[in-house]
Amino acid sequence: MFRISLDALLVLDAIDRLGSFAAAGNELFKVPSTISYTISKLEDDLGVKIFERQGPKVSLTTPGAELLKEGRYLLKAAGDLEQRVRRVASGWETELAIGMDTMFSPAVLSDDIKDFYTVAGKTRLKISQESLSGTWEALLNGRVDILIGAAGEPPSGGGYSCIN
């Protein structure tokens, strides 16, 4: 079981950004005692002091600063995951992998990529280049979702559509 919760990291982040437990409580719609309890519990669970307290003023300890720095990566990752889940639920892919033959430069797609991102800005494009039959192998092996400029005929029995 994890001793660090996303809620505790949100509290820690808010205290650092806003400078006080009370301001963090206002932003997070929690009473100051809940904010204080969350930090105390986190300190007890981890066995480290996160804040130095001088009356109403608090400052991060070295372990607290490290927890905050790394915790912000977790908060960002959790937020990104929430967005990806919503995108998938709405029918949008989170990533589209495009394979190209090496005889073409990815630069020829720059205008198309810009147009794509105006419509699907949260879908990541992953472009890889393959040579000879490697383009078709990339599609068959699931490394790419679509091919551009694939040489030769598609493999038999694949149900592929080709546009010239």
Interval 3-54: pLDDT, tens: 999 999 999 999 999 988 999 999 999 998 999 999 999 999 999 999 998 8
Interval 112-160: pLDDT, tens: 999 999 988 778 899 998 887 788 888 888 888 888 888 777 777 667 7
User: Domains of the chain: which residue ranges?
Assistant: 6-89, 95-148
Which residues lie closer than 8 Å to 32 by C-beta, 6 or more apart?
21, 22, 25
Question: How far is the C-alpha of 5 from the C-alpha of 151, rounded, in Å?
Answer: 51
Second-level CATH architecture of 6-89: Orthogonal Bundle (1.10)
pTM over 0.75: no
Closest CA to 139 of 106, 98, 108: 98
Tokens of 150: 């694939």
Question: How far is the C-alpha of 78 from the C-alpha of 68, rounded, in Å?
Answer: 15
Closest CA to 113 of 128, 129, 126: 126
Interval 74-127: pLDDT, tens: 999 998 888 878 877 877 778 899 989 888 888 888 999 999 999 887 788 999
Residues 138/147, Cβ–Cβ less than 8 Å = yes
List the alpha helices (DSSP H) in the chain: 6-18, 21-28, 32-46, 62-89, 110-119, 134-140
